């Protein structure tokens, strides 16, 4: 196992997840629920499953598309979605 890749991945995902919608949703569920352990286990399982799916899909897609194109596409999609959220008022 490549520890550098593991720690880099941990650091980037940890920083990316701080204060995002998922963390805020988990915060709200924990505030409303008496069973904080159930909220923790549910949110942790969801994050593990989505990460597993991303690894599986990423390993498949990288066989078809060069990694550089994937990074450019992901960055472009991230910027476009951010602009869309800023400019589109959600039907209001």
Q: What mean pLDDT comes out for the span 47-55?
A: 94
For residue 86, the model assigns a pLDDT of 87
pLDDT higher than 90, residue 55: yes
Residue closest to 70 by CA, chosen among 92, 54, 81, 85: 54
Asked if 47 contacts 22 with a C-beta cutoff of 8 angstroms, the reply is yes
For residue 32, the model assigns a pLDDT of 93
Give dist(CA 56, CA 48) in Å, integer: 12
DSSP class of residue 92? -
């Amino acid at each position: 196992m490549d520890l550098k890749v593991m720690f880099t991945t941990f650091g980037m995902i940890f920083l990316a997840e701080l204060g995002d919608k998922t963390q805020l949703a988990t915060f709200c569920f924990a505030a409303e629920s008496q069973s904080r352990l159930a909220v923790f286990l549910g949110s942790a399982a969801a994050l593990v499953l989505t990460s597993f799916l991303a690894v599986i899909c990423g390993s498949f897609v990288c066989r078809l598309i060069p990694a550089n194109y994937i990074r450019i596409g992901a960055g472009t999609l991230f910027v476009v979605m951010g602009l869309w959220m800023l400019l589109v008022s959600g039907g209001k």
